[in-house]
Structure 1
Amino acid sequence: MEADGHEYIRFTDEQRELWNHVTVMWEVARRREVEPVRKLLHRDYSGWVTGTDAPHDYEAAIASVGPYSPRVLRYRLKPLKVTVVDNEVGVVHYSYQAEVETPDAGGKSVAGRWTEVYKKDGDRWLMISVSGGPDGMR
């Protein structure tokens, strides 16, 4: 588990706070902790994973980290652009590389990109949308 790219981007305090939140989300997902994810997603969340036919909702996002999802063994994140607008909305673009394990295919390497959108709720960031996924998918 590693987040790199800090040498390429200079973060403001707000941007660093948001990027740190992204890395927390990955750790929670890696550990398959469903309950914390419920608290980190906005109830009106929707997202779209590359290669799927339609956007997914809050419950599908929760299920994506549950026990029936691929297990993330290792990952590496590279922030590409982190934007915070009026300390209320955050947009994060980043690439990732991960080793995942699935019951049917065993271990494999995946790489891709995500764009995540967040809304500030008090002192925490709630994910309201995501788009992206593995490279090479359409």
Structure 2
Amino acid sequence: MDIKEQGAQHFSQDERDLWEHVTELWEIARRREAGPVRKLLHRDYSGWVTGLDLVHDYEAAVASVGPGTPRVLRYRLKPLKITIFDQEVGVVHYSYEADVEADDGTTRHVGGRWTEVYKRRGNGWLMITVSGGPDGMR
């Protein structure tokens, strides 16, 4: 997804670069590649998915994109707000829609929102936390 398609031309170059990182993570997750995810999460990562009772940790986040998870067939992301603080911390708010293949082979359409927080590492970003998930799960 090109950020310009979503009316986000007002983002700075740093914000567009961070958004590109977010979309790369979605592609890695779509391919269900846990290895690259390990390198893109901070070791002290924690996150909270809407509708779940407990916060999850680094290993749970890695497992959430592994081969045992539902396959994401298609998705569309819409950046809502991206803020970079002191060139060190990035916060990305966005909505998503996705077609997901369930265990029984049926496809279901899901939509939701995420807030993701990143810490700069050299020229890249490490995810330190997320909050959000599918709409309607409270």
Q: TM-score normalized by structure 1?
A: 0.95
Secondary structure of the structure 2 residue equivalent to 1:73? strand
Amino acid aligned to 2:68: Y
Residue pair 1:3, 1:77 contacting (<8 A) in 2 also: no
Q: Which runs of 5+ in 2 are unaligned?
A: none
Match of 2:108? Answer: 108
User: Cα RMSD over matched residues?
Assistant: 1.3
Tell me the residue number matched to 1:14.
14
User: C-alpha deviations, 1:35-67, integer Å up to 9, x for none?
Assistant: 100001000000000000110000000000001
2:89 paired residue number: 89
Give the superposition deviation at 1:23.
Answer: 0.3
Counterpart position of 2:72? 72
SS of residue paired to 1:81: strand
Aligned equivalent of 1:57 = 57
Counterpart of 2:36 in structure 1 is: 36
Other structure's SS at 1:19 match: helix
Instruction: Write the distance in 1 (CA, Å) between the matches of 2:119 and 2:30.
Output: 23
The amino acid across from 1:70 in the alignment is P
Greater mean deviation of Cα atoms: 49-58 or 96-105 = 96-105
SS, match of residue 16 in structure 1: helix
Residue by residue, what CA displacement relative to the aligned partner does 1:97-128 show, whole Å, maximum 9, x if unpaired?
00001213621000000000000011110000
SS of structure 2 residue aligned to 1:87 = coil
Identical aligned pairs, as a percentage?
67
Q: Which amino acid aligns with 1:27?
A: E
- C-alpha contact (below 8 Å) 1:3/1:23 kept by paired residues: no
> Residue 55 of structure 1 aligns to which amino acid in structure 2?
V
Q: Which runs of 5+ in 1 are unaligned?
A: none
Q: Distance in 2 between matches of 1:99 and 1:23?
A: 16
Mapping of residues 112-127 of structure 1, within 5 Å: 112-127=112-127
Verify the 8 A CA contact 1:99 1:110 in the aligned structure 2: yes
Query: What secondary structure, in the 3-state scheme, does the structure 2 residue paired with 1:22 have?
Result: helix
After the TM superposition, list the runs of 4 or more consecutive aligned residues in structure 1 that deviate by more than 4 angstroms: none
The range that moved more, 121-130 or 98-107, is: 98-107
CA distance in 1, matches of 2:63, 2:134: 18
Q: Distance in 1 between matches of 2:80 and 2:33?
A: 26
